Amino acid sequence: MTLPDTEDPHVGEALTALRRIVHALHRASRSAERTHGVSGAQLFVLQLLAEAPVDSLNALAERTLTHQSSVSVVVSRLVARGLVERTRSAEDGRRIQLRLSPDGEDLLTRTPAAMQLRLIDALRGLPKRDLRSLAGTLGEVVTAMGAGSESAGFMFDDGEG
């Protein structure tokens, strides 16, 4: 373990920026749970389904930029709560279609944009060169921390949301 680097102010600036992002995401997730009874991950999925229904869990996983197994858990909880409808595809009975239920649509009329959507929009707004550099740099940080094998599911979703 090494002592914090007080010589390079960029270390502190980077850490402060990461803390602000993490705190904003955590605060928004807690607020969604408290105010609307859904986790931040559930709100994120609901808002993506509001944009357009999907015809598979894999398609929804691509839209959420997460793994299919993480999306499956969140969708199952939303279906159980009656906020999402899961039906078999008329064209291919092996596929499922996911769409908001009327209750899901009603809930979204009372919620702000999920913080995950705001983060994704902010990242997409970066110049491609900067986004590529940021992704690479963060990947290096994850590797240096020894966190490369950590789950990369939904943020602040402990599997119970």
Write out pLDDT tens, residues 90-119: 777 778 899 999 999 999 998 888 888 899
119's tokens: 């983060």
Length of the chain: 161
For residue 107, what pLDDT is reported?
94
Q: Which of 1-15, 38-52, 128-142 comes out lowest in average pLDDT?
A: 1-15
CB-based contacts of 159, cutoff 8 Å, min separation 6: 73, 153
On the CB side of 106, CA atoms within 13 Å amount to 5
CB atoms within 10 A of CB 152: 13
Strand locations in the chain, DSSP E? 84-88, 96-100
List pLDDT tens digits, range 50-74.
999 898 889 999 998 888 888 999 9
Top CATH class of 40-143 equals mainly alpha
For residue 154, what pLDDT is reported?
65
Bridge partners (DSSP) of residue 9 are none
For residue 151, what pLDDT is reported?
63
Backbone φ and ψ for 97, nearest 5 degrees, come out as -115, 140
Q: Give the chain's end-to-end CA distance (angstroms, integer).
A: 34
Higher local confidence (pLDDT), 159 or 42 = 42
Kindly list the domain boundaries of the chain, sorted by start residue: 40-143
Higher local confidence (pLDDT), 125 or 94 = 125
